[in-house]
Amino acid sequence: MNKFWFIIPPLILIVAITGCVSSKAVGECRTNRDEYSCSGSISNDEITLTLSPMISGATLSGAHLSTCEITGSLWSCKGSTECEIISALHPFKVRCPVSSGAYSVSFKLTKIIEQGQQSNEPLVGNCASTSDGKFNCELVVSPTYYFKI
């Protein structure tokens, strides 16, 4: 019985230390539109974003990484580093230079629309004409993934 009690404390200490040094990311995804939600994940500097409901024809045209400080539940983020686009189609995937800390990644979504279709698209903002007579438009849905590792 006495030998058993000598084994338990070191075993508990090993489990506690292993849990403290885990590099698992914790995150939350938010959008600026109530009718849309998003989810994000990070693995090996690759961030994946899923938008729900999916917007037909939406592509990822850019993503920017910011470093953040967390005070309670408030995230204060600053700076901007461009991320490399790995997948421009849903689910969207980018590679960003991260180490340990807190970050946000803001995703910029666009959609190509036909001439005359612009007035029927409630989700498009700034549009630029393309060489083939269509419009490349920014979507007003702006997802941001907040995470710490």
The domain tally of the chain equals 1
Domain-located, residue 15: no
Domain-located, residue 91: yes
Confidence grade of residue 123 (pLDDT, cut at 50, 70, 90): confident
114 has a pLDDT exceeding 80: yes
Question: What mean pLDDT comes out for the span 52-61?
Answer: 94
Give 55's DSSP letter.
P
Q: What is the pLDDT of residues 60-93, one digit of tens each?
A: 999 999 999 999 888 999 999 999 999 999 999 9
Average predicted confidence (pLDDT) for the chain: 83
Give 142's DSSP letter.
-
Domain-located, residue 66: yes
Question: What mean pLDDT comes out for the span 18-24?
Answer: 36
Domain-located, residue 4: no
Q: Which is nearest to 84 in space by CA: 112, 58, 65? A: 65
Q: How far apart are CA 81 and CA 63, in angstroms?
A: 8
- Domain range for 139 is 23-148
